[in-house]
Structure 1
């Protein structure tokens, strides 16, 4: 097969695998499809260029690549009410805040989360985040009793479009920009807990 046709075939194989996968596809997986001698990065670059102008793209998330709808089409997708794959299931405001705390302070115990929010973080809240596969058990804490810690998952990275945890916004930068206040966050968490108890 001539080199240009072989390259085109490899591009199509890589796109097919990424398109069909429910989770981000790793470099190792793509190497099995096209061979270790092939430059995965160059193939991905060519695919991205080819998809310019399409309503979807290939993005690097959670240590691999995934097809994603372009952000410009988010309103149209929401308006359609069509079921979508991936993403984040509906979380309560408090669950979202607990997830954010786990993301920034992992590995973290439930007791440490409770200290952050000034109120006990229930097993149900942890269970909901685990069921959504956004968090998982981490290493045991070195504190007395060796409680479980919690960490985010690859699904967390994928759902929020991050390649690694380094892509999380810097807390200090968010505070400096006036987008986040730890005091306000704790206050809102308390309100969310109280409202949750009233329901």
Structure 2
């Protein structure tokens, strides 16, 4: 009888050991399953390296891009505001100096020049003959209705800033003003005494010659421009 009880206890102990072993394996598998999504989540997060800006972008290339895109001189202060440089005006001027050195070393056809209180990309004088041929071809073209309208606004409202021209026309006119300047009909007449000191535009002597006027006072009055029957 005692031997039977001892055998039963041994069997129960063995079964209990097996159950604990199986339970341990199940717990281990459960822990691995629970940890898997966390690993996937970590892999899906963006790495710090991916958030670093391109090393190809430099302070010089930023200044170059800004000046390339503008059609008017930009002051050093304005370049600082646009580029958001911590180095201020000194850093901007250093960048421009570096760029001009690079242009000279690589024999580029342009430089960044300081004109009208700002900086602008300009072609070198030795390329004038080719540019004159291009500008002559442009000048031979007739003015578009948009160019005529813009020219009329400048003629009657000069000196006028581009923002006011666009307010009257209701559309952007940067390209049109640039075309009129290429044709020699419009010029920079100074800078407005308002915030940002925007450029003022006015007509040229060539404008008077082309339209047969001796003076701006000879421009037709508003009443004379009305069509018959109006």
TM-score tier after normalising by the smaller chain length: 0.3 to 0.5
Structure with larger Rg: 2
| TM superposition score normalised by structure 1 | 0.43
| TM superposition score normalised by structure 2 | 0.37
